[in-house]
Amino acid sequence: MRKLLLSAIALILTAASYGQIVLNSGNYPASVIGTDSLKTTTAASSFPSLTATADGSWDMSIVIDSMPILYSYHVNATVSPASFADSNLYSLSNYSYQGNAQKAISPTGLLEYGIDVRHTGYSLTAITLGPLDSLIISAQNNLYSSPRSILQFPTALHSGWRSELYFDVSFTISIATVLPAGTPGVVRTYLIEKDSVTGWGKMRVKDLLGNPSDWFNVLQVQSTTKTLDSFFINGVPAAVTILSGLGLTQGQITTTYEQNYYRASEVTPFANVRFSDSTYTTPIKATTHTQRLVNVGVSNVSDNSLVSVYPNPVRGHQVSLSLPAMQGRWNYELADISGRIIVADVINVSSDHTQLVLPPSVAPGVYYLRLSNGGKQVCVRSIDIVK
C-alpha cells in the first residue's frame, strides 16, 4: 500500500511539473478587440537558444529590434461564428494583400474561419510593358473549407493538432497582348499545418524603450505549415507562359517553420519566431510584444489592466489616468513610434485618478506612455493624440 501511495504521489508530482502551464477557453475572453504593439527583429540580429524544453527560459531581450512599431489590429468579425478578426498581411505568391483573419475562441480552441480580403491592385506595366496591364484582388470574404486550429484546448506540453483546408482568392487580370481587360482568375490555396506543444517556461522580451521586460509564463508551440497554390484563369489552369512571366509557378509549394510562445488570455503570440529549417535551429525573424509588460515585482500591482487612459484618443494635451490604489511619485515617459522619448517627468498621485498635462509641443499622433512606480515599470499604454 505504501509503495502504491508513493507511486501515486510521484505521478501527481510529475504531472504537476510537466503541466504547470495549461491553456483552456476559460483563460480567454469571448472576444478580443483593440491593438497589439509589436516589434520585429533586424536581419543582423542574433538569437538566444530556443531549444524546445520543459521548464525552460528563453531570453528574447537580447535580440536587435527594428525601430518601427507594428500593429496587430483586432476588429469585429464579419462572419459567423467568428467573434473578432486580426488584420494581417497575406501573400498571393509574389503579390501581397491585406485581410482580416476571422477568429473565435471556442470551448475546443482558438479557431480561424477565413479571411476578409481588402481590395488591392498591382500594375503589371514593368513586366508586360502594357500601360494598362494590371492584377486586381477585389474585396471579398473567403471562408476556409474547414476551420484552422491555432490552439486546441486544453493546450499543454505534448499536445498536438493538425489543420487541413483550402480557400480561394478571386482576382482579375489584364494583359493587353493575351488577356482582355478584367479577365477573371482564382488562386486556390491548400494548407496543411501541424502544431505541437514542445515546451513551457518563461520568456522575456524588450519593451518599447529597449529594456528587458519581466519574465512571463509561456507555452512553446512549434508549427510546420505547407501551402500549395494553384492558378486558374477563365476557369482553366493558367498557361505556363503567363505564370512564368509573372514569376509564378503552378502548384507552387511553400513551407514555413515557426515557434509561437503564448501567454494566457492572448491571441497574438508573445513572440513569433520563424526558422529556415525543419529542425528549428536557425531562426531568421522574430516578432515580439511591447505591451502588457507589467513588472510582477511592483507592490500592489498584479494586473496592468488596472491602469487605463481615458478617453483614448486623447483630445488636446490633458491625459486622464486611472491607477491602482497607490499613492506617491509616479514616473512617466512619452515615446513616439520610433521609440524616441518626447517627454519624461514625475507626477505626484494622491488618488486612483490623476491627470497628465503634456507640453503644447507634442504633435498629434500615436505615442506610448510608460508608467513606473518605485523604480519598477508598471505598464506601457498606446495613446492616440488628436487635435
Q: Which range, 116-120, 334-338, 370-374, has the best average confidence (pLDDT)? A: 116-120
Pair 152, 132: CB distance under 8 Å = no
pLDDT digit string, tens, across residues 85-102? 998 888 887 789 999 999
- Helix, strand, coil shares of the chain as percentages rounded to 5? 10, 55, 35
* H or E segment to which residue 17 belongs: helix 2-17
* Structural domains in the chain, sorted by start: 32-289 (no CATH), 304-386 (2.60.40.1930)
Q: Could you give the percent of the chain with pLDDT greater than 90?
A: 52
Alpha-carbon span 370 to 381, nearest angstrom: 6
Name the pTM for this structure.
Answer: 0.73
Taking 90 as the threshold, does the pLDDT of residue 377 lie above it?
A: no
Q: What is the per-residue pLDDT for 8? A: 37
Q: Position 266: which residue type?
A: E
Spatial contact of 243 and 231, defined as CB atoms under 8 Å apart: yes
CB 46 within 8 A of CB 273: no
pLDDT, residue 189, reads: 96
Question: 351 or 287, which is more confident?
Answer: 287
| Cα–Cα distance measured from residue 51 to residue 73, given in angstroms and rounded to the nearest whole number | 30
Predicted confidence (pLDDT) at residue 177 exceeds the cutoff of 80: yes
SS3 317: coil
Closest CA to 149 of 161, 141, 140: 161
Q: What dihedral angle (degrees, nearest 10) is formed by the CA atoms of 28, 34, 37, 38? A: 60
Residue type, 339: G
